[in-house]
Structure formats: structure tokens, C-alpha cells
Structure 1
Amino acid sequence: MLPELIDLKTFRKALCQAPGPDASALKGAADRNGQLTKPPGALGRLEDLAIWYAGWRADARPQISRPQVIVFAGNHGVTAQGVSAFPPEVTTQMVMNFEHGGAAINQLAMAAGARMDVHALDLDQPTADFTKEPALSEDGLLKALRAGWNAVDPSADLLVVGEMGIGNTTPAAAIACALFGGDAADWTGRGTGVDNVGLANKTRVVAEGVALYADAKDGLEILRCLGGREIAAMAGAIAAARILRIPVILDGFICSAAAACLADVAEGALDHAIAGHQSAEGAHGTLLQKLGKKPLLDLGLRLGEGSGGALAINILKSAVACHSGMTTFAEAGVSDA
């Protein structure tokens, strides 16, 4: 069960003490995989995915029947710096589109047989402009983490989290730069499609923010100073899933930045997560390398919303279906020698 998220200390403690995968299920799944009616390794990475999933679900022959997709939405004060090609009101308009079933993520979640939930987080109150003050107060960060923490359905057997927030590739780039170093330009991309002048301005904003909070002590403090409500909510949901042993498929650059904050707080915090895809946002590949995550897909997506993660659900479902549904050599009466 999830503990009540009383304060940030509780969050850190719960993440650091989260359980790992079930050793017995891992062994049972590996043994079963070695007996299935196929040459060893013939299903490639699908075999590893199925065994990984089995360990987290504590079931050597698991199924995926209750995937959940959650989209969090938030607005950012840093958009006042002109970092996005779209105005902040688009966030609210897109939330309505999600709720009416008209967005890409609605179709992808439906195609994957996933429940989809949408959480709009104080859209009428953008975070602070992080070039002037921290994006969130400690209470604001806790509230956003709690929104994600409590949004996870404990009965779900797979989780994808996505986001909607005009301007949010800017805080994501700042978070990645603060966590992993390098120049702001290494982490800053075109997001919704800013031109060269806009990119230079966006890079300046990222550099100013990272310099302002250079003394932030860990990933949670970096998230508070440079992030946003929807980014923090994704981190809260990913952490809750870790404690509940619900495997997670990470989405794109912004989701990966949220996850990276957790990895900075606790070793192994992302062991229950795989990367659904590598997006077209330039620094996403580098960020995935830093996290040690190899993407399942690379289709040039740059939409956000959880779209790449949702698209990857059916890959994981297929891996688990083969693992659990195939017969063994003994069952099929086929010689394995």
C-alpha cells in the first residue's frame, strides 16, 4: 500500500525504501523462457522485457490487462520569457480536447486497451518564472507530487504518464542540465517549433535558471526550483508505481526529466521503468543514455501527452503474451534437442 504523502521527507524515505522485483518470479520467468517452443533468444528483447515485467508483478507467468495512462497538465510562468511558439491558454484548450476524447493520446490509449485519466493542476495559476524565483514553493511541490502519487490506480498492472503544458520543454531542459551538467545548449531544443531566434532565447533562459539554482541539493530541490506542476506530478506517479511494483513505460523528454529527478534521489528508483521511445527533441537520446534506458521505439514523435509511452504498451503486451501464452517444448511434445 502507498503511505500517506505527508511531507517531502516521507516522499524521499518511501522512494529510498521501495521494494525491488520479486526474485522468485524472476527466476521462474527465466526458467519458463528457456523452455518455450523457440530457439534460445529468438524473440530478442521481447524475452528480456517479459522476464523484467514478471519480476515486478511477482508472477512468473503474468498478463497485462489493466494498463493506465495518466496525463497531467500545468502552466509555466517562464513562458513570459517567450520560450514557446504557442500561448499558455492552449494548455487549457488541450485539456478539454483530452476530456472529450479528441487527442492523439486518447486514440493510442484506446488502441492499447488502457484506462486514461486527465488531471489539470491549477491551470489558472502558472508556476513562477524560474529566472526570477523558484518555480514552486515546498508546499507547491508537495501538492503536485501528491497529485501524481494519488492518481495511480493500485489495481493497474502497467503505467504510462504524460503531460500537457505549453513551454514545458524549457523546464525539462533546465532540469536535465542541472542534473547532468554541460551547456544549456546541449539540452535545449525547439520544443513546439521555435525559430533560431527563439531557440537562442530559450537557451538563455535555461542557462539563467540553472545558474540561479546551482546549489540545489538533489533532484527534488531541482524539480522544485526549475520544474512545473505536471512534471512534479509525473514524478509522483512514477514513484508511487515503484512502491506498488507497477511497471512504468516512460514517455518523451519531459517525462524522462521528471524521472531523472527520482533517479537522483534514490539509487534504483527507475528499475521498474523502461523507455517507450526516443523522441525527436534533440536531447532526449542523451537523457535516456544518462538514465541507462534503451528506447523501444524511435519514430520521430515530438507530441508529448504520453503518446510514445502509450504506443509502446502493445509491444510490452506482446512480449508478455508470448512469454505467458506460448507452450513449452514438453507441453507441445516438441523435441528441444
Structure 2
Amino acid sequence: MSQTPISSLRGITRGFSMSIEQIQERLALVQPLDKEAMQQAAQHQQQLTKPAGSLGRLEEIAIRLAGIQGTSLPHIQQKSVIVMAGDHGVTREGVSAYPAEVTPQMVLNFLAGGAAINALARQAQAEVVIVDIGVAAPLAHPQLISRKVALGSANMAERPALTREQLFEAIQVGFEVLDATAEKGCHLIAIGEMGIGNTTAASAISAALLRQPVDALTGHGTGINTEQRQHKVRVLERALELNQPDPNDALDVLAKVGGLEIAGLTGVIIAAAARRIPVLIDGFISGSAALAACALNPAIRNYLFAGHTSVEPGHRLILEHLQLQPLLNLNMRLGEGTGAVLAMHILEAALHTHNEMATFAQAGVSEKEEE
């Protein structure tokens, strides 16, 4: 398959129409982890100058990364955070503390390097990839990947958020952006998002796929009060009753109550797993994309790491369902990929210890005597 470099993705607004068969083909490329590489990595851990298991989850991370990359000595050099931005028609229902105008303003802040994700990515030495997949305003910047599928989603409280064509195109954008990033030699992907109203979409997706009442997983989002949260719950209940998303069909759920940036991130996750690239998911919104991707192919879960746990209650339910233990718990709820990029340091630490520590034989240290 020929790949498109990121430089040539900038400024493209429409692509060919993706089919369900093409999505299924990409899903079929996701393979199990390399058990032999994991076994060799585990044996290597036993030879390092430390008591067995004493580095705890760092050892587990290194072994899983070995299975992902198919080598007993995995490595991470180039890192990227892909941030998808899109607006949501449901904001017209008053579900957010901020107006929709904040979405394009924050995207420009990302591009200027002034947001939290930029500061954290600079510290982690990770490339920041900003994608306009559905911002409801014109945006132009030399570093922006402009792949606007639509001017935001429709109001899910009135009709399906996305058409089937829009959903497939958004997933296609995710595929292409990940492919271009991977072609540059990226070894680790973090995902993030920007879009006023997207916790509402994440709540709807999670409620449908987890078969949970919306009240159990709907939080305060951007800082709404208790009364506003109850209004948000009522809007969500109306949207789910109106659209009747099929919990057995993640694509149906994404189309009826999702959003363009969430669909795009779903595509990123699928394409990364197909290329054996680990993905650090961020909070509730990127977690809902991971939930959808794993519903389409459960093997994708092996390629995911949970950067942190958000204060949004729905995020905890997602992580429990996917059996992902978060690496950090810092009471964050910003989004943008911030928690995922913070956790990059932990994955790198796991590999530094795995690859750089001396073995007992190399250090001339006596191993524990067998009992």
C-alpha cells in the first residue's frame, strides 16, 4: 500500500470514499502479540541486576512492548501525539460551559505552541500533529493538517450525528494521518482531541457500547454545575432514545452519537495496531475511541496503554471494560492528549531499564542462590 507523507496531507479537504470492506481489511491486519519475543524479554528481565519483579509494572511494560514490536529489546526513539479537532452540533443544547467558538481558538493556540499539550510534548520531545477533521470554522496554518469532513457533527438530540459517509471518511483520515506519521519512523503514538461538546459524545458512545445508563458515566466535562449536568444527562437520554444506536455495532454507535474527531481517533488506533505501533490513550474522549476500536477488533487492546485515569466517571468504566490499568492518576480532565504524553516518560523509563541495565554476568554480581 502506498503511503501519503504528512506534508502532502496538509490542505486536503476531501478524499476518496472509504468502504466498510476497507475498514475490515485494516482491522484484519491486527495480529496477536509476538509471544516468543515476550518470552525472550521476560528471560532478559530475569538476568538483570535486580530482584525478579522489583521494577513492577516497568517490567510488564517492557515485555508487552517486546510483543508489540516483535523483538526482545524494543526501543522508542521518535514519538508523536496526534490531536484531532472537531465541533459538535449537540452544543446547541447547552451541554457545555464553553461556546463552540473555543474549538478553533484552541486549535490556533495548539499551532502557536501555547497549549498544555505543546508544553508537555516539548518536554517529552514528541512531535505534535494537529488535524482539523471537523472544526465548524475556517482554519489555515502551515502546520495544520486540514482534513475537514464537515463543519462539525449534527445535533444528536435531533438526528444522527454523522452520516455513514462522514463516519467512513473520518476513519479514513485517521488511517492516513497515522500512516504518514508511521512512515516518518514513529515508534510511539499518543492521541488527543479538541472539541467543545465532545464529552457529551463520549458519554453517548460509552453508554451505548457499555450498556450503561448515561447518568452513571456522565461527569461535569468542562466544569458545568450539578444542574447543568442533569440537563446534559437528559439531552443524552433523549439522543440515545431517538437514535437507537446498536450496541453490537460500534460503527453504528459512532455514526449516530459520535463525533468526527472521535471517529478519526478510532481510525488512528486501528491503523497503529495494524502497524504494530503502541498507542497511549488519554482521557474520556480518546478512551471512547479506544472502546469503539476494540469493539471492532478486541485484539487491538493489546496495543493500548492507558496514560492516566480522568476524573470523568465514564473513563474509569471504559478502562475497567478494556482491562487497562492507568499509568498515572493526577486528577486531570483537560484532554488534548496531555495525560498520554505525560505517560510517554514511563514507557521510555521501562525500556531504558530493560535495555541498559547490566546483567548479573556483565556486572559480576552473584545471583540469588536456588533453594
TM-score of the alignment, normalized to the shorter chain, above 0.5: yes
Cα distance in 1 between the residues matched to 2:39 and 2:17: 33
Moved more, 118-127 or 15-24: 15-24
Cα distance in 2 between the residues matched to 1:79 and 1:215: 20
Structure 1 match to 2:177: 151
The alpha carbon displacement at 1:310 in A equals 0.4
Cα distance in 2 between the residues matched to 1:169 and 1:243: 27
1:169 and 2:199 matched: yes
Instruction: Answer yes or no: is the 8 Å Cα contact 1:134–1:224 preserved in 2.
Output: yes
1:241 and 2:267 matched: no
The alpha carbon displacement at 1:215 in A equals 4.8
Structure 1 match to 2:260: 229
1:68 and 2:80 matched: yes
Q: Give 4+ residue runs of structure 1 displaced > 4 Å after superposition.
A: 1-5
Cα distance in 2 between the residues matched to 1:175 and 1:16: 23
1:185 to 207, 212, 215: 215
Residue 157 of structure 1: SS of its match in structure 2?
A: strand
The alpha carbon displacement at 1:113 in A equals 1.4
Instruction: Answer yes or no: is the 8 Å Cα contact 2:332–2:339 preserved in 1.
Output: yes
Structure 2 match to 1:309: 340
1:294 and 2:325 matched: yes
Cα distance in 1 between the residues matched to 2:318 and 2:17: 28
Instruction: Give the structure-2-normalised TM-score.
Output: 0.88
- Report the identity percentage: 42
1:334 and 2:334 matched: no
The alpha carbon displacement at 1:286 in A equals 1.7
Which amino acid counterpart does residue 180 of structure 1 have in structure 2?
L
Residue 301 of structure 2: SS of its match in structure 1?
A: coil
1:127-177 Cα shifts (integer Å, max 9, x gaps): 101111111111101111111111111221011010000010001000000
Cα distance in 2 between the residues matched to 1:34 and 1:212: 56
1:296-330 Cα shifts (integer Å, max 9, x gaps): 10000010000000000001100011001111111
Alignment of 1:83-94 (within 5 A): 83-94=95-106
Cα distance in 1 between the residues matched to 2:234 and 2:104: 27
Instruction: Answer yes or no: is the 8 Å Cα contact 2:279–2:303 preserved in 1.
Output: yes
Aligned residues: 337
Residue 161 of structure 2: SS of its match in structure 1?
A: coil
1:88-110 Cα shifts (integer Å, max 9, x gaps): 01000000000000000001111
Moved more, 268-277 or 169-178: 268-277
Which amino acid counterpart does residue 47 of structure 2 have in structure 1?
Q
1:127 to 153, 177, 194: 153
Query: Structure 2: where are the runs of 5+ without partners?
Result: 4-15, 137-150
Alignment of 1:32-71 (within 5 A): 32-71=44-83
Instruction: Answer yes or no: is the 8 Å Cα contact 1:250–1:309 preserved in 2.
Output: yes
Cα distance in 1 between the residues matched to 2:283 and 2:159: 27
Instruction: Answer yes or no: is the 8 Å Cα contact 1:57–1:246 preserved in 2.
Output: yes
Instruction: Answer yes or no: is the 8 Å Cα contact 1:160–1:310 preserved in 2.
Output: yes
The alpha carbon displacement at 1:22 in A equals 2.0
Query: CA 1:244 to 1:5, structure 2 compared with 1: closer, same or farther past 3 Å?
Result: farther
Cα distance in 2 between the residues matched to 1:249 and 1:177: 22
Cα distance in 2 between the residues matched to 1:73 and 1:138: 19
Cα distance in 2 between the residues matched to 1:2 and 1:31: 38
Cα distance in 2 between the residues matched to 1:8 and 1:164: 26
Structure 2 match to 1:267: 298
